[in-house]
Amino acid sequence: MDGPDAPMARPSVPEADRLIGVRRPVLTHGFVALVDYMGHDGAIVQAARVSYGMGTKSVRDDRGLIRYLLRHRHTTPFEMVELKFLVRLPIYVARQWVRHRTASLNEYSARYSVVPDEFDLPPPDAVRRQSTRNKQGRGEALPPEVVEAFRGDLDRVSQDAYAAYRRALDAGVARETARLVLPLAYYTEWYWKTDLHNLFHFLSLRLDPHAQEEIRLYAVELAGIARVVCPVAMEAFEEFTVAGLSLGRREQRAVRALLEGATPEAACASAGLSLTREDGRPMTTGEGVEFLAKLERLRAAD
């Protein structure tokens, strides 16, 4: 361990330094930009070893340690890395984003400033039917005329709302009140700072196929930036968290039955994982259906 008087320097990643201030576009008018970062893969290793020194182990050992920490859910070393982003996003995406409370956030204030005339207009293929399996998601395609009617209504309503907003401001209505006429499709902007552990939690939920498509697009950009700052940690996160599978007790019983030669349906039955309703119809959701989906993921794994 180095002494307390050993020289210290701010660790940096040249590739990440070149990303600072670069706006990565998302949706119609949105973007994600890295503002600053503190630490990199070495900071995770340093914290785990409670050492001021760098390079006390080989690169291979450092990689192995990071992967061990991620696999065994040792979270505090990952909190030693912080990333600060500037994000422009539609209000309806922001309302989902702020449910993640383990971050520092400062938002553009429509009480102090005039809201720009920018609203989100989803592309035609993003306007779909309500899913019959996911109560909060999208499903099959809609007829083109329905899609265009919705997009036309959204465009018209948004423009009319902004015209009303400007009329209110011109008439002297306070900004904090005039903003009430603006729909969720309008954009806001904020600085969002979080540590790597909590960014992993955000990404584990928002990269998931069940997350709304628009916030997934933002998550993809955040992940891309984090991959530059901490490539080894992101590699471990993507392998053990994003691509990993967790098995509950009954699912483990079903796997044991599979190993003993049972069919998937018989394995589910022996483990108490229902696949049919009381009326005999196949279930479309539930633990048994999710277990079969995990088996499909295993079959498709590289």
Helix (H, G, I), strand (E, B) or coil at 189: strand
User: Which residues fall within 8 angstroms of residue 133, CB to CB, at 6 or more apart?
Assistant: 139, 284, 285
The DSSP H or E segment spanning 37 is: strand 30-38
In the set 167, 206, 277, 281, the catalytic residue is 206
Strands (E), 52-185: 82-90, 104-107, 128-130, 138-141
Instruction: Find residue 38's DSSP bridge partners.
Output: 82
Report how far residue 296's alpha carbon sits from residue 280's, in angstroms, rounded to the nearest whole number.
Answer: 23
CB contact at 8 A, 185 and 92: yes
Whether 73 is a known active-site residue: answer no
- In degrees rounded to 5, what are phi and psi of residue 182? -80, 135
Q: What is the DSSP string of 97-124?
A: HTT--SSEEEEPPTTTSPPPS-B----G
Q: What is the DSSP letter of 240?
A: I
Q: What is the DSSP letter of 238?
A: I
The catalytic site residues sit at: 206
